[in-house]
């Protein structure tokens, strides 16, 4: 996997100008960050839903 990534990065370096490479990497980083935030939102929604549907205990 790591070797494949290195080969792809080398090909990208040969085929794309520097600005395009940076833009592509930035776009990919943004996609990964969006996925991380979506996962966090989903987990938070599940916790809130579980807390809202759990019966309250008498104190």
Digits of tens for pLDDT over the chain (59 positions)? 688 888 888 887 788 777 787 888 899 999 999 999 999 999 999 999 999 998 877 66
DSSP secondary-structure letter at 9?
Answer: H
Q: Which helix (H) or strand (E) holds 6?
A: helix 2-15
Overall number of domains in the chain: 1
Q: Is residue 41 part of a domain?
A: yes
Q: How far is CA 16 from CA 5, 19, 23, in A?
A: 16, 8, 11
pLDDT at residue number 1: 61
Q: How far is CA 11 from CA 7, 17, 42, 51, 54, in A?
A: 6, 11, 37, 50, 54
Please give the residue range of the domain that contains residue 13.
Answer: 2-53
Angle (CA) 44 26 11, round 5°: 130
- pTM of the complete model: 0.59
Q: Is residue 18 part of a domain?
A: yes
pLDDT at residue number 46: 96
Q: Is residue 59 part of a domain?
A: no
């Amino acid at each position: 996997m790591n070797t494949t990534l290195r080969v792809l990065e080398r090909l990208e370096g040969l085929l794309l100008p520097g600005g395009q490479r940076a833009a592509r990497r930035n776009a990919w980083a943004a996609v990964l960050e969006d996925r991380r935030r979506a996962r966090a939102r989903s987990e938070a929604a599940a916790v809130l839903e579980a807390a809202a549907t759990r019966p309250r205990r008498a104190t």
